[in-house]
Chain A
Amino acid sequence: MSNAVTLRLRTSLERRIEADCITPDRFATASAAEIAHLAMWDGRRQVMLGDVFDVDGERSTSVRMTGDLAHVDAIGAGMTAGELVIDGPVGRYVGTRMAGGVLRVLGNAAYGAGLEMANGLLDITGDAGDRLGAARLGASKGMTGGEIIVRGNAGAESGTGMRRGTIVITGTAGPRAGTSMIAGNVIVFGDADDAPGQFNKRGSIVVFGHVTVPPNYRYVCTYRPPHLAVTLVYLRARRDVAVNAAWNAGLFRRHSGDMAEVGRGEILEWRSEA
C-alpha cells in the first residue's frame, strides 16, 4: 500500500481515450500491475491503462494524474470515494455519475463535467465546458446531489435538469443555465444573461452579477434570503471560495418562475448593499 497512486501521461494524445476505469475506489485494493491492466477505450479499440500512463504506487484511494489530459474522457466516472486530483486540463465527462469522494481538476474541464452526478465534490479551478452537472442529452434528470464548484466560467446549459445538489460558478455562466431544473441550486458569482432558468420547476438560480430575467418569471419582492447567508458562509469556510462580504449585506430581487411550469422556482438577483 502506498500513500497515493500517481498516473503520468507518457506522451500527448491525438485521439480521445475513454478512461472511466480511473476511480480512487477501484484503486483502493489494486496492485500497480492490476492498475496498469485496467481497460480503457480508444474508439472501438481497447488499450491498457499502462500503455498510456506510467503508474506509480498502489492500493490507495488517493490518486493524482499529471499531463495534458484534454483528450482523456470520463475520468472519475461513477467514483464513490477517495480523492482524485487532476493536475491540468481534462477531457469530457469528468466525474460523470460520481456518487462520492472528491475530484479536483487543477485546470479546465471540457463538456459534461459532473454529468448526472449524485454526490461528492467536483472542484474545477479553471473553466468548465457545456452541460456542467446536467442531464445526458435526452435524459430527464441531471445532477441529483453533491457539489460542483467551478472557479472560472462555465459553458452553456449548466445544471440542465438538475434534481438536487449545488453548482457554484465563480465566473460567468453561459447560455441557458438552469434549463428545466427540477430543484437544486445554481449560484453564479458573475453574469448569467442568456435565458437562464427556462422551464425551471423548483430550482434556485442565484446571480450576483448581471442577469437578464426571462419574461416568464414574475418579480415578487426584494428581501434577504436567509439560506443564502448559510450557503455563503459554508462556501467560504468549507470550500475556500472567495465571497464578497457585501453580498451578505445586500438585498435580492426574487423572481418566481418559470410561470409556464409550476412557478416554484426562483431567480435571486443580487441588487445592492443594504
Chain B
Amino acid sequence: MNIRGVLIEDTFAEAFGMRGARVIITARDQRWAREAAHKMTGFATSVIACKVEAGIERELAPEDTPDGRPGISVLMFTMDSDSLAKRLIERIGQTVLTCATTACYDGLPNAPDRMSIGKPLRTFGDGFQSSKVIGGRRFWRIPVMEGEFLIEESFGKVNGVGGGNFLILANDAESALAAAEAAVDAMRRIPGIVLPFPGGIVRSGSKIGGKRYKSMIATTNDAFAPTLRALTATQLPDGVNAVLEIVIDGVDADAITAAMRAGIAAACREGVHSVSAGNYGGKLGPHHFHLREIMAEVA
C-alpha cells in the first residue's frame, strides 16, 4: 500500500488497556486554563516513570463548559483504577487548585464508574468548605485566598486504550520532524485522544527490557536507531536516516483508529520513506491497529 509515494508497512500497532479520565479546567480566560492544564499534564509522558500519561485533548469554548468560561479538556490515563484516582487528586490538588481563577469539572459525567476526587480535595478547606448540588452533580466550594475554588465531587472513568502508535521513517531528520508535526496537527483535531509526549512526538522509541542492562524496564529501540544499523538487527530500509514515533492514548479504540488515520495521512509527504508501527508480536496488548486496514479508505 502506498499513499503519495509513502509505503504503508503491513504491520500493526499493539496497544493495551488503560483507565482514563477527562478533566475540564475552566478559568477567567484561556490563558489561565492553559496554564493549569500545562502544569497538570507536565511530566506525564509514560507510565513507566511518570505513573501517568496525560495530555491536552482540546480547548473548549465558553458554551461548551459547565460554567460558561473558556476551558481546556485534559485526558489522563493510568494502568489501574486506584492509581488513576491518586494521580488525579495529586495533580489537581497541586496544579489546578493552586492556579488563579480556575475551576475543575468532570468531563465524563455519564460514565457509570466513578472516582471520588473533589471529596478528598475538599479537606484543604479545613472544615470551611461547603458543597452545592447543581443538576444532580455535587460540587465542593473550597475557600482560598483568591475567593473560592470549585471542584466536582466525583469524576467518571472509562476503559481507555494506551500505546497506539506509528513510526515515521524518513530520509532525514528534517523530513521526519516535518511529517511528524503535520501528523500531530491533524491528530489534535480528533476528539478522545491525547499525544502524551513532547509536542506529541517521541524520538526515543523503546523496546522492552535491555540486552546489556537486565534491570532496565525499557531501552532504546536499536532496530530503528540509524546509528546502530551496522551493529544490530536493523529494521531500517536503505535511505532511512531518521525515525520519529507518535504515541496515542485514547478513551476507546475507535478514537485511536481515527487519530491514526488522520495522522498517517498527514505524515505521507515528501521525504518520508514509509510508515511502520511498534508491536511485540501481539503478546503485550489486546488492541491491534493494523495500518493497512486503517488506511484502506484513504489509500
CB distance from B118 to the nearest CB of A (A): 12
| Given A164-B133, A202-B130, A264-B130; A223-B139 close (CB under 8 Å) | no
Q: Which residues of A contact B148 (CB under 8 A)?
A: 223, 225-227
Q: Spot the interface stretch: B61-69, B246-254, B259-267.
A: B61-69
Contact indicator B150/A227 (Cβ below 8 Å): yes
Task: Given A223-B148, A225-B141, A225-B148, verify A230-B67 contact (CB < 8 Å).
Answer: yes
Q: Hey, which chain A residues are within 8 Å of B149, CB to CB?
A: 226
Give bound CA distance, A63 to B147, whole Å.
Answer: 46
Q: In the complex, what distance in Å separates the CA atom of A224 from the CA atom of B149?
A: 11
Provide the residues of chain A in CB contact with B65, threshold 8 Å: 233
- Flag if B135 contacts A226 (CB, 8 Å): no
Which bucket holds chain B's interface residue count? 10 to 19
Contact of A230 with B130 at beta-carbon distance under 8 Å, contacts A224-B147, A225-B148 already known: no
Check B66–A233 contact: CB distance below 8 A.
yes
Residues of A with C-beta under 8 A to B130: 202, 264
Bound state CA distance, A234 and B134, in angstroms?
8
- B139:A248 contact, CB within 8 angstroms: no
Look across to chain B and name the residue whose beta carbon is closest to the beta carbon of A266.
Answer: B130
User: Chain A's interface: helix, strand, loop or mixed, by majority?
Assistant: mixed
Closest to A145 in B: B133
Residue B31 at the A interface, CB < 8 A?
no
Chain B residue with minimal CB distance to A119? Answer: B136
| Docked complex: B31-85 residues within 8 A CB-CB of A | 65-69
A227→B147 contact, CB < 8 A: no
Given A164-B133, A238-B135, A264-B130, answer yes or no on A229-B147 (Cβ-Cβ < 8 Å): no
Measured CB to CB, the nearest residue on chain A to B67 is A229
Contact pick for B68, options A164, A185, A223, A248, CB 8 Å: A248
- Which of B67, B130, B150 is most buried by chain A, counting CB atoms within 10 A of its CB? B67
Residues of B within 8 A of A227 (CB): 132, 134, 139, 141, 148, 150
Docked CA distance A248–B62 (Å): 12
Contact B68 A233 (CB under 8 A): yes
Is A231's beta carbon under 8 Å from chain B?
yes
Bound-state Cα–Cα, A141 to B184, Å: 57
B-facing residues in A51-105 (Cβ within 8 Å): none
For A241, what are the chain B residues with a Cβ–Cβ distance below 8 Å?
none
Closest to A231 in B: B134
Asked, given contacts A223-B147, A224-B147, whether A229 binds B69 with beta carbons under 8 Å apart, the answer is yes
Main secondary structure of the interface of B (DSSP, over half): strand
Q: How far is it, in angstroms, between the C-alpha of A164 and the C-alpha of B132 when the chains are bound?
A: 9
- In the complex formed, the residue of B with least CB distance to A233 is B68
Instruction: Tell me which residues from 132 to 171 in chain B have a Cβ below 8 Å from any Cβ of chain A.
Output: 132-135, 139, 141, 147-150
Q: Is the C-beta of B103 less than 8 angstroms from some C-beta in chain A? A: yes
The complex places the Cα of A221 from the Cα of B103 at a distance, in Å, of 20
In the assembled complex, the Cα of A165 lies from the Cα of B65 at a distance in Å of 23
In the complex, chain B residues 103-138 whose Cβ is within 8 Å of any chain A Cβ: 103, 130, 132-135
User: With the chains together, A202 CA to B130 CA distance in Å?
Assistant: 8
Kindly state the separation between the CA atoms of A13 and B165 in the bound complex, as whole angstroms: 74
B148 nearest in chain A by CB position:
A226
Q: Quick check: is A232 within 8 A (CB to CB) of the other chain?
A: yes
Q: Is A200 an interface residue (CB 8 A)?
A: no
The reply on A172 being an interface residue by CB < 8 A is: no
Chain B contacts of A226 at CB under 8 A? Answer: 67, 103, 141, 147-150
Whole-angstrom CA separation of A238 from B141 in the bound complex? 22
Complex CA gap A145/B141 in Å reads 19
**Residues from chain A with Cβ under 8 Å of B66 in the complex:** 230, 233-234
Contact yes or no, A230 B139, CB < 8 A: yes
- Chain B contacts for A232, CB-based, 8 A: 68
Chain A contacts for B139, CB-based, 8 A: 227, 230
B-binding residues in A (CB < 8 A): 145, 164-166, 185, 202, 204, 221, 223-227, 229-234, 238, 248, 264
